[in-house]
Amino acid sequence: MTTQQPTREKGDKKKQALAELCILLEKHPDKSRQSLLQEVEIKYDLNPMECEFLHRNFQNP
């Protein structure tokens, strides 16, 4: 018998990536936002639209 994992609601990955981005920005103020954005995009396997949202809204302080 196999157990299925519950499907994530749409937007969960983006919310988690956003939360982690905020934490990383506080922990690593010396790192560029660009590198931190790339880090969370890869970790959460964000699609191009989700990446564009993050870049549009969080690229510059």
pLDDT at site 34: 93
Q: Is the pLDDT of residue 60 over 80?
A: no
Domain boundaries, the chain: 12-58
Tell me if 61 sits within 8 A of 53, measured CB to CB. no
pTM for this entry? 0.74
Burial environment of residue 25 by CB neighbours within 10 A (0 to 12, 13 to 18, 19 or more): middle
